[in-house]
A and B are shown apart, each in its own frame.
Chain A
């Protein structure tokens, strides 16, 4: 199986170890991984800020850069969501790119989704081991990716038993592919994050344009993380991680941040040298 990595600009520059983990893990699972070096950015910052013509040009570039890929896998939920949710509209009616956009959408997978849905990985069978207590930050863009509907999560728990206040304060994330994978790792003590469905306050330029709002939101998130007592917070979205880790550092909250890819690759002994 040939897999092309769309590493994303943030992961490339800020979180390279995540990109490395994805490559090693996919290779470990028998994939032939390539990295089309012309790739840059999916255009999300431009799109979200209302610069749609600029975003459209970058969408075209993405279609060209991954034209020959069989699968495109990216560790970022928001970049995958950008492709899935907006490329169709952006390139609609453009005869040179419309078809290519549809193909790119169909073959692009967010990393955790690729592991569970395409490779159907069972980490138990692979002997995954990791030691420590970890919580998981659910990034908002996974909503768009259909990775999990918090509504249905609560639905399921509500249908069985009316949840107590404590339970309802954090949703059940059992169906999240990332959480399912984490539960397959021996020795990893998983602590559910309270108020997991509340945004961390990153939001791209929102963090710099509306600092007071963003700051209040991220402090709330850091407090939630600290309340779990976990020494590791798993966060796969580069933007969220920069935001939350930056706040934790400012507040002196001692938590390390790792992506899901890093945790899984570590649990299989693929990252010992880095």
Chain B
């Protein structure tokens, strides 16, 4: 397995596309560059669908209400927690069985492939555009969601499209494509089973890979009965059959097929999608026109890299060696081919990504949307995806959302993590998510988005740690205050473990005692013991020297027990 080597593309430090070099047909919109953009304008596509309100809440977004509700939702706890935990275990097992101790080397390789492509994004995007255009693809650029939707709407209108079938794509969630198409008279049917159910239920995806992880089949049965007029059932096979029958009709009638894209292979100009239900194949080959919405960061250099990425993606997302369907699509139907669309459009979507492409945060764009970090995350397991208030949830969402939609709009997300590191360990392309969470907090302080009080308290605390006396004073005050609050009694026999518990505290500890008690320090600290120990050691030394050691054992003072104990060492 080879990695992309350094010599090939000679890119500048940033990733600026040379517009002059682009084929004229492709320059229909924005060219991703490194412009210092203002806070990303939101594609406020909150339409009739309640679903979009879930992913596009009022900003700035406060996470607490939804997090609180989620932790008290026993059903959500059960579904999300169990499903993610089992998926996480499945991922570990299949990686272990396939790669064993070379697991980490595989992740390293995946990470390097993506990082290399991002470091030379301008080169590879151009290469991809050239190859794709040669294959007959019509390539478009979209600076933001509105532009992307406008491109798709224009195509739909030109073709007088009334019905569109769509396979799963997170980018279209970002842009709110369905509402945009509806406005030009084109109805869109989600064909991924999970997304189909969510669409019927006016819900929104809560997981990158398993969008309806927060629902169970009784909810599906109710939605089908209500929206499709079928008798209620919660039998999974029957429900799948109902969906299948319903969707088959739609594929035949559809004028337009929409997909996302898991990878763009630069050397061949291909769009690659990975699915498990076969709906992606039907969406991209039955209707006469196929439009793929793909983020600009999805590029990889060569087909040989695709083999690595596919191995990582399927194992990380669904614990499969390979997804059931892997489509490598290079251009529309050719004269010699019996089927496929007559027109193929690819919309390369920026929507905030070129801002993330700054060297400082570029690593985030390695993400292949496998969802492994969501499944591994103990916070996601507790609050589910909707609590993140954005299209991308979980650990990757906590770092990507503030970058894509403005740190000032999502002030809580960098803090919605215990920094346990499970996400980093799970990430197949080695994105150091905890490092970026910390970095975002740093940006908050630099941009004065954090509270003055927080910065002042932290400064005082840090300064107090510079000298022994102030550190000890702080420790003394902490001990005293907490023990007073807890009414902790002193146990002379156990001065190093006679702790009490504070039941309700104010100030910065209020959050702590809202959920659990606060143990207090015991009556004596380690330093007191150490100093007494030094005194005892010195005493022993003097005693031995003056030949009076035996007196110690007869003294009634409690200290002597310690001295006796100490003398054993």
B516 to A243, Cβ gap below 8 A? yes
- Nearest Cβ distance between residue B48 and chain A, in whole angstroms? 31
Beyond A198-B378, A215-B71, A246-B519, whether A46 also contacts B525 by CB under 8 A is no
A16 to B522, Cβ gap below 8 A? yes
Which A1-48 residues have a C-beta within 8 angstroms of B?
7, 9, 11-14, 16-17, 19-20, 23-24, 27-28, 35, 37-38, 40-41, 43, 45-48
- B133 contacts A by Cβ under 8 Å: no
- B458 contacts A by Cβ under 8 Å: yes
- B328 contacts A by Cβ under 8 Å: no
Which A64-90 residues have a C-beta within 8 angstroms of B?
none
B439 to A155, Cβ gap below 8 A? no
User: Within the assembled complex, what's the spacing in Å between the Cα atoms of A144 and B414?
Assistant: 20
- Nearest Cβ distance between residue A87 and chain B, in whole angstroms? 14
Chain A residues, Cβ within 8 Å of B417: 203, 206
User: Within the assembled complex, what's the spacing in Å between the Cα atoms of A113 and B154?
Assistant: 64
**Which B residue's beta carbon lies closest to that of A217?**
B378
- B524 contacts A by Cβ under 8 Å: yes
A14 to B468, Cβ gap below 8 A? no
- B78 contacts A by Cβ under 8 Å: no
B512 to A246, Cβ gap below 8 A? yes
A169 to B494, Cβ gap below 8 A? no
User: Within the assembled complex, what's the spacing in Å between the Cα atoms of A141 and B68?
Assistant: 27
- Nearest Cβ distance between residue A247 and chain B, in whole angstroms? 4
A16 to B529, Cβ gap below 8 A? yes
B420 to A203, Cβ gap below 8 A? yes
- B459 contacts A by Cβ under 8 Å: yes
B92 to A40, Cβ gap below 8 A? no
A37 to B468, Cβ gap below 8 A? yes
- B138 contacts A by Cβ under 8 Å: no
**A37 is contacted by which of B97, B527, B529 (Cβ under 8 Å)?**
B527
Beyond A214-B418, A246-B517, whether A19 also contacts B526 by CB under 8 A is yes
Chain B residues, Cβ within 8 Å of A35: 530
- A208 contacts B by Cβ under 8 Å: yes
0/1 interface trace, chain A 215-251, chain B, CB 8 Å (1 if under) = 1111010000000000000000000011101110110
- A147 contacts B by Cβ under 8 Å: no
B378 to A250, Cβ gap below 8 A? no
User: Contacting chain B: which of A118-126, A128-136, A158-166, A176-184?
Assistant: A158-166
B71 to A212, Cβ gap below 8 A? yes
User: Within the assembled complex, what's the spacing in Å between the Cα atoms of A216 and B467?
Assistant: 37
A151 to B526, Cβ gap below 8 A? no
B511 to A207, Cβ gap below 8 A? yes
- A96 contacts B by Cβ under 8 Å: no
User: Within the assembled complex, what's the spacing in Å between the Cα atoms of A46 and B511?
Assistant: 19
A150 to B92, Cβ gap below 8 A? yes
- Nearest Cβ distance between residue B500 and chain A, in whole angstroms? 10
Chain B residues, Cβ within 8 Å of A159: 96-97, 100
A210 to B516, Cβ gap below 8 A? no
User: Within the assembled complex, what's the spacing in Å between the Cα atoms of A202 and B97?
Assistant: 33
**A13 is contacted by which of B97, B382, B475, B509 (Cβ under 8 Å)?**
B475
Beyond A57-B462, A154-B89, A158-B96, whether A215 also contacts B561 by CB under 8 A is no
User: Within the assembled complex, what's the spacing in Å between the Cα atoms of A168 and B525?
Assistant: 41
Which secondary structure dominates chain A's binding surface?
A: helix
Chain B residues, Cβ within 8 Å of A193: none
0/1 interface trace, chain B 485-518, chain A, CB 8 Å (1 if under) = 0000000001011010101000011111011111
User: Within the assembled complex, what's the spacing in Å between the Cα atoms of A17 and B519?
Assistant: 15
- A213 contacts B by Cβ under 8 Å: yes
- A106 contacts B by Cβ under 8 Å: no
Chain B residues, Cβ within 8 Å of A195: 85
- A191 contacts B by Cβ under 8 Å: no
Residue among B510, B518, B526 with the highest chain A CB neighbour number at 10 A: B526
B421 to A140, Cβ gap below 8 A? yes
> Number of contacting residues on B, CB 8 A?
86
- B465 contacts A by Cβ under 8 Å: yes
B419 to A41, Cβ gap below 8 A? no
B422 to A217, Cβ gap below 8 A? no
**Which B residue's beta carbon lies closest to that of A271?**
B565
**B511 is contacted by which of A13, A27, A209 (Cβ under 8 Å)?**
A209
**Which A residue's beta carbon lies closest to that of B527?**
A12
- A54 contacts B by Cβ under 8 Å: yes
- B21 contacts A by Cβ under 8 Å: no
User: Within the assembled complex, what's the spacing in Å between the Cα atoms of A48 and B450?
Assistant: 14
B379 to A49, Cβ gap below 8 A? no
0/1 interface trace, chain B 451-482, chain A, CB 8 Å (1 if under) = 00001001101100111100100010011000
Chain B residues, Cβ within 8 Å of A28: 569
A14 to B512, Cβ gap below 8 A? no
B511 to A208, Cβ gap below 8 A? yes
- A100 contacts B by Cβ under 8 Å: no
User: Contacting chain A: which of B165-173, B239-247, B441-449?
Assistant: B441-449
Chain A residues, Cβ within 8 Å of B514: 211, 215
Which B500-556 residues have a C-beta within 8 angstroms of A?
501, 503, 508-512, 514-519, 521-522, 524-530, 533
Chain B residues, Cβ within 8 Å of A249: 501, 516-517, 519
Chain B residues, Cβ within 8 Å of A242: 518-519
- B438 contacts A by Cβ under 8 Å: yes
User: Within the assembled complex, what's the spacing in Å between the Cα atoms of A208 and B458?
Assistant: 14
- A99 contacts B by Cβ under 8 Å: no
Beyond A154-B93, A206-B419, whether A17 also contacts B101 by CB under 8 A is no
**Which B residue's beta carbon lies closest to that of A156?**
B96
- Nearest Cβ distance between residue A223 and chain B, in whole angstroms? 12
Which B409-439 residues have a C-beta within 8 angstroms of A?
412, 414-422, 425, 438-439
B459 to A152, Cβ gap below 8 A? no
- B562 contacts A by Cβ under 8 Å: yes
Beyond A12-B526, A41-B465, whether A274 also contacts B496 by CB under 8 A is yes
A27 to B379, Cβ gap below 8 A? no
Chain B residues, Cβ within 8 Å of A54: 458-459, 462
B416 to A213, Cβ gap below 8 A? yes
Chain A residues, Cβ within 8 Å of B196: none
A168 to B89, Cβ gap below 8 A? yes
Nearest 5 pairs between A and B by C-beta?
A203-B418, A215-B515, A50-B441, A155-B96, A199-B420
A-B contact pairs, 22 of them (CB 8 A): A7-B526, A13-B479, A14-B522, A16-B525, A16-B529, A19-B529, A40-B466, A43-B465, A50-B440, A143-B420, A151-B92, A155-B96, A162-B93, A197-B422, A198-B422, A209-B415, A209-B511, A210-B416, A211-B511, A213-B71, A213-B379, A246-B516
Beyond the given A214-B511, A217-B418, could you list 10 further A-B residue pairs with CB under 8 A, ordered by the A residue number?
A16-B522, A45-B458, A155-B101, A162-B93, A197-B422, A198-B378, A199-B422, A218-B516, A245-B519, A250-B516
